[in-house]
């Protein structure tokens, strides 16, 4: 069963960003890889909120609403919110600081978390779409 176009486009972009992050990591560009991984998770959170008819103008608003509407009611595991917050923190460092200290190990850890975030988002949205 396929998702409505806006959701499918958002999830496709999240998957592309996961792929881009791997290429960037392999090139040793850890800062850019972290940024792509954060955005992969961020687009998933936005897609989930869109299903609820919600939209926010700031990253912090999206992160907070994700917790409020999906984690607090136990629709998705609390780890996802924690991972999204960690990725946001690392993305802030990678985008705005010159010396970040982000290592390949950091990127590999975040890659695994982002891949799981995307997968769980897709599964959740498929279940939601089937129940409509």
The CATH number given to whatever domain includes residue 99 is 1.20.120.330
The pLDDT-based confidence of 104 (bands split at 50, 70, 90) is: very high
Spatial contact of 43 and 23, defined as CB atoms under 8 Å apart: no
Residue 112: CB partners within 8 Å, gap ≥ 6? none
pLDDT at 113: 98
The total number of structural domains in the chain stands at: 1
Provide the CB-side half-sphere exposure for 15 (13 A, CA).
10
CA dist., res. 108 & res. 113, Å (int): 9
Domain of residue 70 covers: 5-131
Structure tokens at 3: 């998702």
Q: pLDDT tens digits for 105-120?
A: 999 999 999 999 999 9
Structure tokens at 26: 């392999």
Structure tokens at 117: 């975030």
- For the question of whether the overall pTM of this predicted structure is more than 0.75, the answer is yes
């Amino acid at each position: 069963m396929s998702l409505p176009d806006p959701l499918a486009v958002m999830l496709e972009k999240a998957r592309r960003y996961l792929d881009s992050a791997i290429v960037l990591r392999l090139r040793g560009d850890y800062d850019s890889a972290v940024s792509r991984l954060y955005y992969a998770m961020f687009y998933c959170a936005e897609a989930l909120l869109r299903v609820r008819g919600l939209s926010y103008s700031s990253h912090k608003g999206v992160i907070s609403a994700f917790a409020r509407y999906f984690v607090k009611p136990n629709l998705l595991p609390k780890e996802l919110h924690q991972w999204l917050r960690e990725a946001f923190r690392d993305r802030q460092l990678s985008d705005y600081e010159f010396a970040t200290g982000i290592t390949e190990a950091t990127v590999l850890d975040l890659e695994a978390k982002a891949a799981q975030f995307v997968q769980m988002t897709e599964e959740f949205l498929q279940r939601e779409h089937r129940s409509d």
